[in-house]
Chains A and B, each alone.
Chain A
């Protein structure tokens, strides 16, 4: 009961803070950047972050109170859609493993959108088996020299910083010889090339790293601790993918339901059965995502997010597949095969053919569905781990 009363006091004081902030920073006239910088400095950026780092160490759930109030005032935003990776994955990783100096240096421009972050994890030889990665970082006094190739990097061409995981000790077993950095993407030797995908566009990039110098001050976590830091990043990724709140019909099913309502001539009994199944499954997955969010509200992301992501991928594919069939010959009109580089992932946009193709990536990106089933089986259900031939051997001796 007391906790509840305190909660109400905190919430109303937070509302008052936002009101005061809006009174001194007119959302209609204040410059966007100036506004979001001031909002960060006022501790109203992400209230669950510590004081001095854009927050006030409050409950995670209070953020939506603040966001709603700013939205109602039509206030300038930090354009979170441009920096989803930074906000959703880099920031919690920096908060958990960064030094105080790094937190002060990186979190503010990250939140305000002045610095877009990308993620340099996967490599041509290290996909599901990320810990097998081969990009080398060699220490040279108070700096590191990095060489290697990364792949599947969204936003690399607009990012100013990257979460980079490298191999620093090939003599160690693969999980132990990794080190994590916050790489300055403007460093000499960083080359970004678009990676064209089945949809025709290049949402992702390949990143080549040739004798790139990284100051030791940009290392996140201890030398050799890179796997633990990477795991924290990936857990946040799956939560970001699977457990966000959206309204009924807010996802892929909304597009299809709309087509169904607008085009009675397309309806058949078989399609109707499938549509109802998909609609029900999509709505239930929305409820399950919300339930997961409620459970996580006070805690940190756990392996349960993997389940939400599994369902998300399967449903997106089934609904996108259904939509092409529903449209018939019109479903075969493709908008554009020209190679271009969108700013971010677009799952629900363009035409049915695009969504059909794009959804095929959903069960691969952010952990393949097969790996996610392993994670659920081992970390949620406590089943025995896969038999591993690579765990104790030095990385340099593994077959590849």
Chain B
């Protein structure tokens, strides 16, 4: 059928409304879309990160490390954090950071995903950093001062931090912490508190020196705890994805410094989780993109029936659909990064869309990478399983696609049954 040109969308007549309701919230910003491409500077940063990862994180090294006692590559993290400046991307220049935005941070996350690199970028440079930045912005003087001090050390690379929440935590709601404040409280709010409790399945806490911990109490609050304190135990979890090994935390009267309290603490935790979801989505774009590249190279040179297997339409069409999924995910991820960068009012929707689309794309990539490689793709010696594992773990990290889509029910005014 020829020539279907631009169609002017309009709304047709529907049956008469039983109960007229509000239209979708007028989100003008959603209709004036930001730049979704990569800038020249972003591409330069990408090259710098990629050259480190190409050199230091070839697949064989990443695989070997998953079976070593130290699953995180702290030496490589030092290079990325300090020499390239990845640790301080989001931190203001006044505190020694780069004063860049989530756009740049997203590009770094993509590269880390491409290499399935075992570095605590998400936990330290995104989750913990975003929580501290929020505390710095909204916290009271003493607490903000403590946040500033930690941020300065994060930017300098002398401290690595993590946010002590289960990896599956999702933005948009204050998860009732499993750690409580006490026993006892200091007379001076800037003094030393004690925390007791457990937090299961925390990402990037193993290589951290400092943990940012939400704790329940009156009021609930956000704290920092040093990981070398005797009151804190980290038990490594044998994780599905050993390129980002989880650990279970136990705190027993662990000394803690308060960063923010009450609504400000909730705000800080939410800002961190939102940033985490967006940057993990960017990482997933990298996972899906690199998995596609590796698979394409393989099907072009693998011969069966005297033809490259990539010449069979059954294979080509799956790869085409995979490429489409990556292009869709990339657009959503760039939109989320841009919305966070400019504090756009559509950020909550953007992050939910990105985490949903990128989780789906990464999972598709992990599965297709194995299937289209055939037998070799199912072996330990081939990188495919690392991509699958990273895809699966990141699809649960910071909220599943399903939970993020469910959050659109209220964000986009699409209420569930029974809601009026």
Contact = CB atoms under 8 A, between A and B. Distances in A.
Contact of B37 (A122, A295, A370, A374): A295
A283 interface: yes
B68 interface: no
A344 B7 CA distance: 9
Contacts of B15: 263, 327, 330
B129 to A, nearest CB: 26
A84 interface: yes
Given A119-B3, A248-B27, A264 B415 contact: yes
A264 B19 contact: yes
Nearest to B308: A384
Nearest to B30: A248
Interface string B194-232: 000000000000000000000000000000000000000
B3 A280 contact: no
Interface in B10-56: 10-15, 17-24, 27, 30-31, 33, 35-37
B9 A246 contact: yes
Contacts, number: 243
Contacts of B328: 281, 284-285, 287-288, 311
Interface stretch (B101-109, B237-245, B317-325): B317-325
A376 interface: yes
Interface in A360-400: 361, 364-366, 370, 372-374, 376-378, 380-387
A84 B332 contact: no
A349 B12 contact: yes
Interface string A236-265: 010011001111111100110111111111
Nearest to B36: A291
Interface stretch (B81-89, B90-98, B362-370, B402-410): B402-410
Given A155-B3, A248-B27, A373 B321 contact: yes
A154 B3 contact: yes
B413 A261 contact: yes
B10 A349 contact: yes
Contacts of A204: 1-2
B61 interface: no
Interface residues of A, number: 94
Contacts of A273: 405
Interface in A84-110: 84-85, 87-89
A244 B6 contact: yes
Contacts of A257: 24, 412, 414
B18 A255 contact: no
B408 A294 contact: no
Nearest to A285: B328
Given A84-B3, A294-B37, A264 B409 contact: no
Contact of B2 (A118, A279, A327): A118
Contacts of A267: 415-418
Given A260-B414, A264-B420, A350 B12 contact: yes
B57 interface: no
Contacts of A381: 296, 316, 319-320, 323
Given A276-B406, A276-B414, A304-B327, A121 B2 contact: yes
A346 B414 contact: no
A265 B18 contact: yes
B389 interface: no
A310 interface: yes
Nearest to B317: A373
A291 B80 CA distance: 29
Most central of A122, A258, A347, A370 by chain B CB within 10 Å: A258
B347 to A, nearest CB: 14
B353 A263 contact: no
A193 interface: no
B22 A261 contact: yes
Contact of B331 (A260, A287, A384): A287
A321 interface: no
B9 A262 contact: no
A145 B7 CA distance: 35
Contact of A376 (B310, B320, B332): B320
Contacts of A35: none
Contact of B5 (A87, A120, A373, A382): A87
B396 to A, nearest CB: 18
A345 interface: yes
Given A155-B3, A276-B405, A295-B37, A307 B324 contact: yes
A349 B17 CA distance: 18
Given A283-B353, A287-B33, A294-B36, A307 B9 contact: no
A374 B7 contact: no
B39 to A, nearest CB: 12
7 nearest CB pairs, A to B: A84-B5, A365-B1, A85-B3, A377-B316, A384-B311, A262-B17, A288-B331
Given A265-B18, A366-B1, A373-B316, 17 more contacts: A237-B3, A237-B5, A249-B24, A250-B9, A255-B14, A276-B409, A279-B412, A291-B37, A291-B330, A311-B328, A344-B5, A349-B12, A351-B13, A355-B12, A373-B321, A384-B310, A387-B307
Interface of A: 80-81, 84-85, 87-89, 118-122, 152-155, 204, 237, 240-241, 244-251, 254-255, 257-265, 267-269, 272-273, 275-277, 279-281, 283-285, 287-288, 290-292, 294-295, 304, 307, 310-311, 327, 330, 344-351, 355, 361, 364-366, 370, 372-374, 376-378, 380-387
22 contacts: A84-B6, A85-B3, A121-B2, A154-B1, A240-B4, A248-B24, A257-B412, A261-B24, A261-B413, A262-B19, A262-B20, A269-B416, A284-B357, A287-B33, A287-B331, A348-B7, A373-B320, A374-B316, A381-B316, A382-B296, A383-B299, A383-B319
